[in-house]
């Protein structure tokens, strides 16, 4: 391993062994893991203006999780040279030439990551995939439950997922399951999911949702024993859209024994005509070809609320002390452990451990609140890495009045968000989008003030629930805490309130 990366890696490994969060460890030159075994890195912040952010070479049993990766002048995570048992999970990967690229390796798992604005021209090598498997082989290879969004002008993609000359096992195919991707292009050869590229075998593409993913939705370009099952594929007319699903051998490899069945396709070609599916007639009989729904009643809205624009970063339903979002954030019950989840007596509170997922400049918070006391200044919520007064944000109850405050690098704003009463449930929201800070009470917009620039975060601390710096701790009940990336609309907030108020 190169010496300039060794210190960062050793410190990170020590933090893992001691169970100390490694969020403070950042790198602007990338990490190299070379010839290592049993390494687990978590809560990192990595960028690299000269190349890949993380390179994994000839290594075994490596985990990269819960980290923010980007910008990268190259592929965000590059796996090469016979690496084995590599797991990439719960990361935010953005502004890179590619997301995850694995070459000549096995047991590669890319699970529950978030990809945003991958740019194929970022380092002039024309990559542009969220995930590429190149000569990946064997069992236990997975590309499952990832989210991705490309906004044209900010990102440009090739195939969002590309499987090149890769072979799974008959009993353990390469899995591409449950992914949700929105946006792609603008090149004419890009697709949402491309399999059999240059050959390959035993690949399962199932239960994915693709909206405007590129020129093609899903393709089988060669190989054998590839299954395309129960996917939803949609594209509106654009300058590069071609066909929803195709089977067409474009290599000298064998092309046979494919299954395409149970898919819902609604695809509009660039000339405005429908072009849902196409059989190139050079791969033999395609099992299930007639059993797909063409011109299906699906549209672009089937991904709204699930992708990067409004993703759920933290969710505490208070059935336990666990975060039940896709990110599985670390929650600490600080205080009396005998008090049930969601109940607070003025001595206990919750801490969402510091993570790069939560230091963001566009968010929406929602929470059901039932106070047992409204006298004085009572802490309700506080952002991480800030005190919530002169930096970051906070929510308090001050003599019955709900107060929200947010500080950017430019100024601070305080909102008056209506009155909450003892022994009564109230639904409160707090949101910021870089232009204004706003709060709602029981679905109605109460206060809004202009404020610009990035939120001022400093230091290192946890997000607090039922407490804020320098206040009396909350006494009462809390439920359904949600922390979203992105600004939910007024109608979305009203819908959330009306949908859940019957339970409170």
Q: How many Å apart are CA 478 and CA 378, to the nearest integer?
A: 14
- What is the mean predicted confidence (pLDDT) over 97-102? 94
Decide which of 2.60.120.200, 1.10.10.10, 2.120.10.30, 3.40.50.10860 is the CATH code for 311-503: 2.60.120.200
Query: Contact at 8 Å (CB) between 195 and 164?
Result: no
Q: Residue 72 and residue 483: Cα distance in Å, rounded?
A: 27
Rounded to whole angstroms, how far apart are CA atoms 125 and 97? 8
Q: Residue 179: name the closest of 236, 131, 219, 227 by CA.
A: 131
Domain boundaries of the chain, sorted by first residue:
3-303, 311-503
pLDDT tens digits for 387-431?
889 899 999 999 999 999 999 988 999 999 999 999 999 999 999
In whole angstroms, give the CA distance from residue 21 to residue 14.
Answer: 10
pLDDT in tens, 156-187: 888 999 999 999 999 999 999 999 898 888 88
- Model pLDDT, residue 423: 94
| Structure-model confidence comparison of residues 28 and 380, the more confident one | 380
Q: For residue 248, give every residue at least 6 positions away whose Cβ sits within 8 Å of its Cβ, in sequence order, or none.
A: 219, 220, 221, 278, 279, 280, 282, 283
Q: What gap in Å lies between CA 46 and CA 50, rounded to an integer?
A: 12
- Indicate whether 27 pLDDT > 80: no
329 — pLDDT class (breaks 50, 70, 90) = confident
Is beta strand 444-450 parallel, antiparallel or unpaired with respect to 463-465?
unpaired
Quick one: fold of 3-303? Answer: Pectate Lyase C-like (2.160.20)
Query: What's the DSSP call for residue 141?
Result: -
pTM over 0.85: no
pLDDT confidence of residue 461: 87
């Amino acid at each position: 391993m190169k010496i300039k990366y060794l210190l960062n890696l050793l410190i990170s490994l020590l933090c893992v062994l001691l169970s100390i969060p490694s969020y403070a460890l950042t790198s602007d030159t990338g990490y190299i893991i070379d010839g290592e075994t049993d390494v687990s890195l978590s809560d990192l912040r990595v960028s690299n203006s000269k190349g890949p952010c993380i390179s994994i070479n000839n290594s075994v049993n490596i985990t990269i999780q819960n980290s923010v990766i980007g910008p990268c002048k190259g592929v965000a995570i590059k796996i090469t040279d016979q690496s084995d048992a590599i797991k990439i999970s719960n990361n935010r990967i953005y502004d890179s030439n590619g997301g995850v690229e694995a070459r000549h390796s096995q047991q590669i798992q890319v699970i529950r990551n978030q990809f945003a604005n991958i740019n194929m021209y970022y380092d002039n090598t024309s990559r542009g995939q969220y995930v590429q498997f190149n000569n990946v082989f064997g069992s236990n290879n997975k590309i499952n439950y990832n989210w991705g969004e490309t906004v044209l002008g900010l990102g440009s993609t090739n195939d969002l997922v590309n499987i090149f000359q890769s072979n799974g096992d008959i009993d353990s195919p390469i899995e591409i399951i449950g992914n949700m991707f929105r946006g792609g292009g603008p090149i004419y050869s890009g697709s949402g999911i491309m399999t059999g590229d240059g050959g390959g075998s035993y690949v399962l593409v199932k239960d994915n949702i693709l909206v405007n993913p590129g020129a093609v939705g899903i393709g089988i370009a060669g190989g054998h024993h590839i299954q395309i099952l129960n996917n939803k594929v949609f594209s509106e007319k654009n300058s590069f859209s071609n066909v929803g699903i195709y089977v067409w051998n474009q290599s000298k490899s064998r092309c046979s024994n494919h299954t395409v069945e149970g898919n819902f396709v609604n695809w509009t070609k660039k000339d405005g005509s429908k072009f849902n599916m196409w059989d190139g007639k050079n791969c033999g009989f395609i099992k299930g070809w007639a059993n797909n729904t063409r011109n299906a009643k699906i549209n672009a809205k089937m991904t709204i609320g699930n992708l990067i624009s409004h993703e759920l970063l933290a969710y505490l339903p208070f059935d336990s002390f666990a975060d039940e979002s896709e990110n599985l954030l670390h929650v600490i019950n600080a205080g009396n452990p005998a008090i049930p989840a969601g109940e607070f007596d003025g001595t206990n509170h919750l801490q969402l451990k510091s993570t790069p997922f939560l230091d963001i400049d566009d968010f929406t918070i929602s929470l059901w609140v039932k106070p047992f006391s409204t006298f004085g200044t009572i802490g309700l919520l506080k952002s991480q890495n800030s005190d919530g007064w002169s930096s970051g944000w906070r929510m308090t109850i001050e003599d019955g009045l709900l107060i929200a405050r947010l500080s950017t690098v430019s100024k601070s704003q305080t909102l008056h968000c209506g009155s909450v009463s003892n022994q009564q449930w109230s639904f409160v929201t707090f949101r910021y989008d870089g232009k204004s800070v706003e709060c709602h009470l029981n679905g109605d917009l109460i206060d809004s003030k202009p404020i610009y620039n990035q939120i001022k975060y400093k230091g290192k601390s946890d997000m607090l629930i039922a407490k804020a710096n320098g206040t009396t701790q909350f006494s009462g009940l809390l439920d359904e805490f949600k922390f979203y990336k992105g600004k939910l609309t007024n109608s979305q907030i009203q819908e959330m309130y009306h949908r859940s108020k019957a339970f409170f």
